[in-house]
Amino acid sequence: MKKKIILASGSPRRRELLTQIGIAYEVVPSDAEETVTETDPARVVESLSFRKAMDVAEKQAEDCVVIGADTVVALDQQILGKPADETQALQMLHALQGRSHCVYTGVTLLVKQQDRMEPHTFHERTTVHVAAMNDREINHYIATGEPLDKAGAYGIQGAFAAYICGIEGDYYNVVGLPLCHLVQVLKEIGFEI
Amino acid sequence: MKKKIILASGSPRRRELLTQIGIAYEVVPSDAEETVTETDPARVVESLSFRKAMDVAEKQAEDCVVIGADTVVALDQQILGKPADETQALQMLHALQGRSHCVYTGVTLLVKQQDRMEPHTFHERTTVHVAAMNDREINHYIATGEPLDKAGAYGIQGAFAAYICGIEGDYYNVVGLPLCHLVQVLKEIGFEI
């Protein structure tokens, strides 16, 4: 298959991940609404990834494969999105420190061929163990500015790495795209990577 | 404690990791022999990390903290070092694909205070699950040039990410430094990070 790949996400981290594994793509961020009625994290991220991919695929004239993705942090099945401000970031980091949580990324690969749309949707879950942090450490991390645009108020690939004792699952899923699973599905639908 | 931190390693990846978590350091690569008589991976990396740290600490005039580190890949307890050439890289990647192995990083923090040397040595183990790869994929990865300077012939942070289904443990331990454990020990010996 020689279709163009379109990433339906403005996230610089997702762009870097696709580039890292040598996948050529274009970026067309989706304008889809990010509100959902589901509460189960796996369903939420799958549903949002589908909506983002569909939003972008519908606007394409040519055949293509659109990648939509959505990532959330779930603490005891409660979803933490991006913090609205530093106070909310502080609350989230307080809740996450010294224990484990899960990160879910949902992905939809939408194959657009003439007028047909063929969606492949899946999610990956990674468990993340966070070290105990004191208030000084949390405030110091918030002062880096990293928390504000990230689900759960942290980025595993930045300064917060000092507080991640370990994970179970795909690291890149926590960054924002489960690369290994994504590549498997791309191969199944006929792409050579 | 306000001592200078010295990284006894020329590895650009270890440098990037310390920078990522905001630790200021100087680099003084060690010339220590990298041959050992031990065969247990945990002992090998601890022993080599100690030797590297000691080699550099002995040459310092001032008080300091030297960080020595060594990383190996172990498949069924057999150690895979850096491949000598592409043929050896091919053999290693053939052996690693489609199954799990462990990565060990040993770290020694050596506190040099006047004429006293106080070593703190530990290791971290991370289990890595590698997807099945065909010959074309292995050869394509070797052609990127990434395998040649890396233990086990792969770098988790590069194009090989497409084949890492998941891990159990510290991701940064696989890159070359277990940041979380390192920071805990730095705090225990009196450093503020």
Radius of gyration of chain B (CA): 17
- The answer to whether residue A55 is catalytic is no
Alpha-carbon gap: A131 to the closest alpha carbon of chain B (Å):
8
Write the CB contacts of B90 (distance below 8 Å, at least 6 apart in sequence): B138, B139, B142
Q: Taking all residues of chain B, what is their mean pLDDT, rounded to a whole number?
A: 95
Per-residue confidence (pLDDT) for residue A125, from 0 to 100 = 98
State residue A191's pLDDT score. 84
Burial of B76 (0-12, 13-18, 19+ CB in 10 A): exposed
Q: Tell me what pLDDT residue B2 has.
A: 77
Whose CA is closest to A69, among A47, A89, A100, A41? A47
Q: For A112-127, what is each residue's pLDDT tens digit?
A: 998 899 999 999 999 9
- Averaged pLDDT, B69-81: 94
Catalytic residues of B: 70
- Looking at residue B30, its pLDDT comes to 96
8 Å CB contact of B21 and A161: yes
pLDDT of B113-152, one tens digit each? 988 999 999 999 999 999 999 999 999 999 999 999 899 9
Query: Hey, of A165, A185, A187, which one would you mutate to test binding to chain B, going by the most B CBs within 10 A of its CB?
Result: A165
Shortest Cα distance, chain B CAs vs residue A13, angstroms: 13
Select from B22, B162, B167 the Cβ nearest to the Cβ of A171: B167
pLDDT of residue B21: 95
Span B88-121, pLDDT tens digits: 999 999 999 999 999 999 999 999 998 899 999 9
Which listed residue (A40, A63, A70, A76) is catalytic? A70
Partner-chain contact B166 A126, CB within 8 Å = yes
Q: Which residues make Cβ contacts (< 8 Å) with residue A24, sequence separation at least 6?
A: A5
Res. B191: pLDDT tops 90: no
pLDDT in tens, A63-75: 999 999 999 999 9
Average confidence (pLDDT) over B176-189: 96
Instruction: Record the pTM.
Output: 0.93
- Looking at residue B138, its pLDDT comes to 97
Tally A–B CB contacts below 8 A. Answer: 86
Chain A contact set for B156 (CB, 8 A): 171
pLDDT at B193 over 80: no
Burial of B126 from C-beta contacts in 10 A (0-12 / 13-18 / 19+): buried
Helices marked H in chain A: 12-20, 41-57, 86-96, 135-143, 171-175, 179-188
Residue B1 has pLDDT above 80, yes or no: no
Report residues of chain A scoring pLDDT below 70.
Answer: 1
Longest dimension (CA), chain A: 56
- pLDDT value for A176: 96
The one-letter amino acid code at B144 reads T
Q: Regarding beta strands B64-75 and B100-113, do their DSSP bridges make them parallel or antiparallel, or are they unpaired?
A: antiparallel
The whole-number pLDDT of residue B35 equals: 81
Q: Do the beta carbons of residue B68 and residue B129 sit within 8 Å?
A: no
- Tell me the ipTM for this assembly: 0.91
